[in-house]
Chain A
């Protein structure tokens, strides 16, 4: 009965369709223009974001439910195994931590002797990733905290294994962040072994970064650890970023071809830490070549 009405209702032409499409296309182009040029639309985006937030929560619910089910139905044997593993791991970590504490104390003492500014212990807050961009080369993600928790543009995002990215648009409840593998992302780093400073640039591939400004005779080897140098001001110094994967020296070119593998598994992170350092300490004693 409905089927017949549906077909008789449709003479084939929808009135004013062309005008509506033209209008909407025009509005879209205006929106994109202003969004791209001057970030005038931040407030608009934030308010739409707040309206869409409940939908995102509903959408995220099955994933959470699945994780919760997985957690609550693991078998006893598995739990016991995990418990014993964690216990031994904790022992090991505690031992290392004691050493670290001693080292940290020694470091502060030496630094105060050198009259350098002491490194402030960074404050962090854990955020969960709500969604990733389906666009495979736009490496950005949305996290579940925003300006009401103190998030700000340019804030550093760190995973358990290393630097993940930085906040690019802090919304009220959610924020958008860019991964270090995005082609628009560059990050000042230094080689942990010898303090060689350079810049790491994203390639658009999630497991590869490049170092475009390494001169041919620079001392860099495969396996070198790159850590943040803190020179850009956005990232606090000393966090691992990547390990050097390949070094190709081309004789007649001024720069060597160096690629690196991100320390954090960028495609697998679900929780990240946002760093609220009260002061980004820049070490005043730097190694000059």
Chain B
């Protein structure tokens, strides 16, 4: 069992560290507006595949890390990621049997919800932000989802076969 849970845990942790790298890496301004929400994508994937181990609590802690490292309102990303994890865990059985196009549409909806929560919190806290720019990460995240999905599934089965 311990070897089993190890083989489940390592791919997640490594993918999260890489996700944080991609999130914090300095990029030119033009591309920066389209930087996907890597953490949201990872949380959706892992909460869908392993809803018992990686659920709302982990998502919340990841959100706090994001808030501190980016200097946003403490709890803003935590709240949004937590809700993303909840929506995914709630529908994970359904999402597992969805064909890829339908799953991608679902991910689009969840990413929109994520950005809407961030937008909402900014609005309530009176932080100035033009609404149109929120769509960049949603679009790029949706486009990248099939790749992320295929890649992470490959990694997951690869480590299992190795063990």
Contacts and interface: CB of A to CB of B under 8 A. Distances in A.
Nearest to A59: B21
Contacts of B60: 24, 27-28
A29 B83 CA distance: 13
B89 to A, nearest CB: 6
Contact of A21 (B50, B56, B71, B127): B56
A49 B137 CA distance: 25
* Size category of the binding interface on chain B: 35 or more
Contact of A270 (B24, B26, B68, B75): B26
B79 A29 contact: yes
Contact of A136 (B20, B86, B133): B133
Interface residues of A, number: 55
A36 interface: yes
Contact of A176 (B23, B29, B71, B79): B71
Contacts of B78: 24, 28, 31
Contacts of A5: 4
B72 A138 contact: yes
Interface string B27-67: 01100110101000000000000111001110010011100
A65 B20 CA distance: 17
Contacts of A184: 128
A31 to B, nearest CB: 3
Interface in B100-130: 118, 121, 125, 127-130
Contacts of B7: 2
A143 to B, nearest CB: 11
Contact of B68 (A25, A52, A135, A268): A52
19 contacts: A14-B55, A17-B55, A21-B56, A21-B86, A28-B75, A31-B75, A31-B78, A32-B75, A35-B74, A45-B74, A63-B25, A130-B24, A135-B72, A137-B128, A140-B71, A169-B71, A204-B129, A206-B29, A267-B28
Interface of B: 4, 7-8, 17, 20-21, 23-26, 28-29, 32-33, 35, 37, 50-52, 55-57, 60, 63-65, 68-76, 78-79, 82-83, 86, 89-90, 93, 118, 121, 125, 127-130, 133, 136-137, 160
CB-CB nearest 4 A-B residue pairs: A31-B75, A28-B79, A28-B75, A176-B71
